[in-house]
Structure 1
Amino acid sequence: MSRPRLLFVNQHYWPDVAATGQILTDLAEDLVRRGFVVDVLTGRGKYVSGDLAAPAQEVRNGVRIRRLATTSFGRGSNAGRVADYAGYYAGVVRRLLSGPRYDLVVVCTTPPLLGYAASLARRLRGQRYAVWSMDLHPDAEIALGMLRPDSVAARRLHAFNDAGYRHADVVVDLGFRMKERIASRGVPASRQETIGVWSSSDEVRPVEPADNGVRRSLGLRDDQLTVMYSGNAGLAHRFDEVLEAMRLLRDDDQFRFVFIGSGPRRAAIEAFIAEHRLANASVHDYVPREQIAESLSAADVHLLTLQEAFAGIAVPSKLYGIMAAGRPTLMVGPERSEPGQTIQEHGVGEVIDPEKGGAAADVVAALHRFADDPDARRATGRQARAVFEAEFDRPILTERWAQMLAERLGLELAPAVDSLSEGNAPA
């Protein structure tokens, strides 16, 4: 029997730092090991800005990668982001309408409306497709106030995007709130699947302070509680309560706040630190993926934030890396959200819901609890690692993808291949 052929479509892929690209890279490579032929259609621009130092075409770990040439303004401005999206989207449409056929095309949601492009290929060529819904549009733009819910633009974008979801053979969501939103668009339960995102126990593990080069390079002290925000400081996240907590703790030498990453809210964080002359906080660039275990383990407690309006629209993937590093999470955001539910159900941290009021003071109180009882804090970290290994490790969830795809395509999976080299890449 011939091997099933898949095409994944997403603007970001290895070696880019974007979380969606890293997750897709994991899945694509693991599906090759499960007997699928996997192609990826991605872009050449970096998530932040600039061009990737990567060729237009290559095969890596059995996955054939094609990178479309587009602008690479990055995420510094909405205009630049739209230009990047438009160039990539045009290339995708051409490829889906005139390129090779696949058993299934799986489109992600960066940029928006890829589902609609895939629906055109289904209508004109009979190409089956799935939507991997990593976030929802134009819901996100409406939540940000960029579009009025009743505007002509919002209604038309909803019509295009909803059509992409409704005509898909399957829509994969990231959790219960997102599933609710997708169901409201007219997607029947029979064509919905819930598979969360992950981290990898091989890549992220607890690293002791004495062995942690990133911790040393940041000048972190063992007698301080290091509170870290790692990853994209995006528009879906909230920081007012965290920043106010930093200001309230400015004279308490037992706390140190560290931000690692980038994103549209980074400049505001840096400006707040400078305006209030906060010696207890610093901002740093992304670390290479090879150092992610040391970076995440450099913290004693990790921050995760989410705006109420984004519950079910965006699901922060950083929670699973935090759990893999064996650290507790302090979330500032809605209790009724995918990460809020995971943290509360599994006892891997605390959730402070700003809708209840007094969130900055609650953040300060929670940090004092973590600082005052290091044994309990470490026990919570061990619990986080145990839950991660049982439910959120990469092999567990990529196998769920493999089983789901086999069922949807009417296939029996071949035995897993332990490793792949460039020489046995798909033809």
Structure 2
Amino acid sequence: MTRSEADNAPSILFINQHYWPDFASTAQHLTDLAEYLAEEGFDVHVLCSRGHYLSGSMDVPVEETHNGVHIYRVRATAFGRSTILGRLTDYASFYSSTLARVLTGPAYDYLVTLTTPPLLPLVGAIARALRGQRYGIWSMDLHPDAEVAAGMFQEGGPAAQLLHALNNAGYRGADFVVDLGTHMKRRLHEKGVADDRLHTIPVWNRKDEISPIAHEENPLRSELGLDGKFVVMYSGNAGRAHRFEEVLAVMRRLDGHPDIEFVFVGEGPQKTRIEAFAEENDLSNFRYLPYFPREDLKYSLPMADVHLMTLREEMAGIAVPGKLYGIMAAGRPALMVGPEASESGETIQKCEAGHVVDPSRSSDPGQALYDTVLQLYSDGEERRRLGENGREAFLKTFEQEVCCESWTELLRTQVRPPRRSREDKVAA
């Protein structure tokens, strides 16, 4: 008997390495969705670890209920992301503990895996084969596609072939797969996932969490000594999917500019490289800040005048930077260095929410980025227009309520409707 037969509410188990109170992007989005579904009447459960996104374990219970969501944290290592060996060890320990619990624990109406760690969808395929468990996949990124594109595995080599075969088996056996856009959908279709099982739902931000704030009303700018500065910000993970050659070159060319300040926020494998470049070139208008708590994003994202984004061309459809929607929510222009033919590139252009410098279509992308930064610096009206366009598009398409409602509708086609909807609760 499944949990829903016991309590008459459809039961969903989400599986991801990270969850509240961790600040990883996947943790924040999963928390938003899980709590939304709990309000909609679903019996929502989450299986995760106690490890921080960066390193170390959080001081949290093994099991608790938070905002209507039942959370179970399995035993796993927490070496973090500073080394590949540590990350792989964390992945393996979480994977083994998760598989053991899924195969011996309660059954659910639906199991939904995310994609951290890689090969996590295979847990669903194994649970289907051994227990008849139905499952879906929330494809935040594609593996081992990302590792191959980053040069960690040779395309066509034995390791890549094995990982592709395992991962593809997980995707092909799923009842549904949620992708993040047309380019990811195309890649999943090429892996053998049927079109009628693919559903596009982008990730999001919350309109009440991030909104445009005038600089003079933003206490963080004063606190950081940025009053009167034109802030060009890169906020988020500086990962292997991103390129920084053009950004670093422009930072060096604009060093000493009296008004322009480059502010990086976050962590990632390329942080050391970026900081080393700044030190070697003695850059005076650069700083690298740690991640801000989620409750401070309402100040940190609007603190910028322009937000930088980067993506390597081969990562199009493999990784979809969710940071774009926070930028749009903050009403700031996005300046992307990366392929126009990508989810982010097409969104920026279609919504007229910024500019895209595509290295594959420019004879000198560094010069193009330099010119665009100076253009936006000198044209406040253009910055305002692009930011307003982004905020408007965000509210229509990339806001939490809009995207979570799409998830609710999808899940209601997979399991029987819950007893009470959000409207019923309001009426009561």
Same fold (TM over 0.5): yes
Q: Is the 8 A contact 2:13 2:108 kept in 1?
A: yes
Amino acid at match of 2:242: H
CA contact (8 A) 1:403 1:413 kept: no
* Equivalent residue number for residue 424 of structure 1: none
Map residues 72-87 of structure 1 onto 2, 5 A cutoff. Answer: 72-87=78-93
Match of 1:215 in 2: 221
TM-score of the superposition, structure 2-length normalised?
A: 0.96
The question of 1:57 aligning with 2:63 is answered: yes
> How far off is 1:104 after superposition?
0.4
Larger mean CA deviation between 244-253 and 157-166 belongs to 244-253
Percent of aligned pairs sharing the same letter: 49
**Pick aligned residue for 1:242 from 247, 255, 259:** 247
| Change in 2 beyond 3 A, CA 1:70/1:288 | same
Tell me if the contact between 1:56 and 1:67 (Cα under 8 Å) persists in the aligned partners.
yes
Aligned ranges 1:350-389 → 2 under 5 Å: 350-356=355-361, 357-389=363-395
- What is the one-letter code of the residue matched to 1:382? E
> Counterpart of 1:337?
342
Figure out how many residues of one structure are paired with residues of the other and give that number. Answer: 419
- What does 1:151-162 correspond to in 2, within 5 Å? 151-162=157-168
> 2:4 aligns to what?
none
2 CA distance for matches of 1:351 and 1:282? 24
Q: Which amino acid aligns with 1:268?
A: R
Q: TM-score, normalised by structure 1?
A: 0.96
Between the aligned partners of 1:210 and 1:412, the Cα distance in structure 2 is 47
Give CA deviations for 1:11-49 in whole Å, capped at 9, x if unaligned: 011111110110000000001111111000001111111
CA displacement at 1:246 relative to structure 2: 0.4
Deviation, 1:391, is: 1.1
2:115 equivalent to 1:90: no
Distance 2:253 2:423 in 1: 54
Per the alignment, residue 126 of structure 1 pairs with: 132
Give the partner amino acid of 1:60. H
Q: CA deviation at 1:411?
A: 3.1
- Secondary structure at the aligned position of 1:40 is classed as strand
For residues 251 and 193 of structure 2, the distance between their equivalents in structure 1, rounded to whole angstroms, comes to 44
Structure 1 segment 88-167 matched on structure 2, within 5 A: 88-167=94-173
Q: Are 1:403 and 2:406 counterparts?
A: no
**What's the CA shift for 1:355?**
1.3
Matches within 5 A, 1:260-339: 260-339=265-344
CA distance in 1, matches of 2:215, 2:330: 12
> What is the aligned partner in structure 2 of residue 199 from structure 1?
205
Structure 2 residue aligned with 1:423:
none
Provide, for residues 48-67 of structure 1, a one-character-per-residue CA deviation record: whole Å limited to 9, x for no partner: 11111221111110001111
CA distances 1:374-401 after superposition (whole Å, capped 9, x unpaired)? 0121121111111111111100000000
Q: Distance in 2 between matches of 1:213 and 1:87?
A: 42
Equivalent residue of 1:257, what SS? strand
For the residue of structure 2 that corresponds to 1:297, the secondary structure is coil
Q: CA deviation at 1:254?
A: 2.5
Q: Please state how far the C-alpha of 1:117 moved relative to its aligned partner.
A: 1.4
How far the C-alpha of 1:208 sits from its partner, in A, is 1.9
Do the aligned partners of 1:134 and 1:173 also contact (CA within 8 Å) in 2?
A: yes
Structure 2 residues without counterparts, runs of 5 or longer: 1-6
2:351 corresponds to: 346
User: Structure 1 counterpart of 2:232, which letter?
Assistant: V
- The farther-off stretch of 20-29 and 252-261 is 252-261
SS in structure 1 at match of 2:367: helix
Deviation, structure 1 residue 368 = 0.9
Alpha-carbon distance in 1 for matches of 2:106, 2:112: 14
Contact 2:212/2:302, CA 8 A, preserved across alignment: yes
Partner AA of 2:356 in structure 1: V
Please give the alpha-carbon distance, in whole angstroms, between the structure 2 residues aligned to 1:210 and 1:140.
41
1:418–1:201 Cα change, 3 Å = farther
2:50 corresponding residue in structure 1: 44
Rounded Cα–Cα distance in structure 2 between residues aligned with 1:251 and 1:214: 23
- C-alpha separation in 2, matches of 1:111 and 1:151: 21
Question: Does the Cα contact within 8 Å between 2:41 and 2:418 map onto a contact in 1?
Answer: no
Q: Residues 327, 65 of structure 1: CA spacing in aligned structure 2 closer, same or farther, 3 A cutoff?
A: same
The verdict on how the C-alpha distance between 1:200 and 1:418 changes in structure 2, with shifts beyond 3 A counting, is farther
- Counterpart amino acid of residue 387 in structure 1: A
Q: Are the aligned partners of 1:406 and 1:413 in contact in 2 as well (CA < 8 Å)? A: no
Residue of structure 2 equivalent to 1:230? 235
**Residues 154-190 of structure 1: per-residue CA shift (max 9 Å, x gap):** 1110110000000000011000000000000111101
For residue 3 of structure 2, what is the aligned residue in structure 1?
none
In the alignment, does 2:16 pair up with 1:24? Answer: no
Task: Report the aligned-residue RMSD.
Answer: 1.4
Please say if 1:169 is aligned against 2:175.
yes
Distance in 1, matches of 2:68 and 2:183, equals 35
Amino acid at match of 2:295: E
Secondary structure at 1:304 match in 2 = strand
Deviations, residues 327-364 of structure 1 (Å, cap 9, x unaligned): 00000000000000100000000000011231111111
Deviation of 1:213 after TM superposition, in Å, equals: 2.1
In the alignment, what sits opposite 1:425? none
Long gaps (5+) in structure 1: 421-427
Q: Which amino acid aligns with 1:259?
A: F
